[in-house]
Structure 1
């Protein structure tokens, strides 16, 4: 008995129908997808202006020392009461209401005095305030 060996044919996978299905799915997802643009953070960005239009504002410096003395520019205030601080700020901002208040406080200055200056500025309606600290000498 003679057995014949059959030749085995390699199986083929027809990719044409698979590619058709993938393209149909791609088209389906592209058509059915909605793109929604949501702004989660609203930013008001400044706009550029010419150098001629910009003027450098006057700076009013309010200094709080580590021992509790208060200075407006080079002049020392007589006391640290709220009324005195507010009157000194009002006098400086009477002529130029667009000036910038810079509160310079020593690193060891009493916090209540810095807050008193900031409260007085708020009571006078000053909106442009900057805070700076001066570190004491490290020994």
Structure 2
């Protein structure tokens, strides 16, 4: 009688189900832990001014100009720094809504031409409610300010 060895028929196989589970958990982890805040991506130093913040700023179309003069509309970057490229990006993001308020946020170190180009593109597209974002003015503490010396005192 011949005894057959069944171990030779067993072929090794790779089970992909645990591998797929691990990859899905990693994808979910990275999606959940990623922040989608535009303010954290760009570091802008806004010019300072006195005034109260506008209530319409939350619904406004955000146009950012960084210190190098590159444009960002909401979360999309304009490919080039010319007017036509900026207009195309604005139209892609805003669509046909020209009554929407626009908040122009430019870095304090931005070249003046870049801000004028953004205003020109917005004007050519028909936007009329344009606000320029500023940072609140830094108030000097009265106790920390140097006091003037009396008239007869010498240094």
What TM-score do the two structures reach when normalised by structure 1?
Answer: 0.51
Structure 1 CA distance for aligned equivalents of residues 66 and 134 of structure 2: 10
Question: Number of residue pairs matched?
Answer: 81
Structure 1 CA distance for aligned equivalents of residues 96 and 125 of structure 2: 13
Aligned to 2:109: 108
8 Å CA contact retained: 1:60, 1:72: yes
Structure with the bigger RCO (C-alpha within 8 Å, sep 6+) is 2
Structure 2 CA distance for aligned equivalents of residues 101 and 131 of structure 1: 8
Write out the 4+ residue segments of structure 1 that deviate beyond 6 Å after TM superposition.
none
Structure 2 counterparts to residues 1-139 of structure 1, below 5 A:
58-133=59-134
Compute the displacement of 1:91 (Å). 2.6
Cα 1:78/1:134, change in 2 over 3 Å: farther
Compute the displacement of 1:82 (Å). 1.0
Structure 1 CA distance for aligned equivalents of residues 117 and 124 of structure 2: 10
Compute the displacement of 1:95 (Å). 4.1
What value does the CA root-mean-square deviation take over the aligned residues? 2.4
Unpaired segments ≥5 residues, structure 1: 1-54
Structure 2 CA distance for aligned equivalents of residues 124 and 94 of structure 1: 11
Unpaired segments ≥5 residues, structure 2: 1-55, 137-155
SS at 1:126 equivalent: coil
1:54-94 deviations in Å (ceiling 9; x for gaps): x9983110000112221111222111011001112223332
What TM-score do the two structures reach when normalised by structure 2?
Answer: 0.46
Structure 2 CA distance for aligned equivalents of residues 121 and 133 of structure 1: 19
8 Å CA contact retained: 1:57, 1:99: no
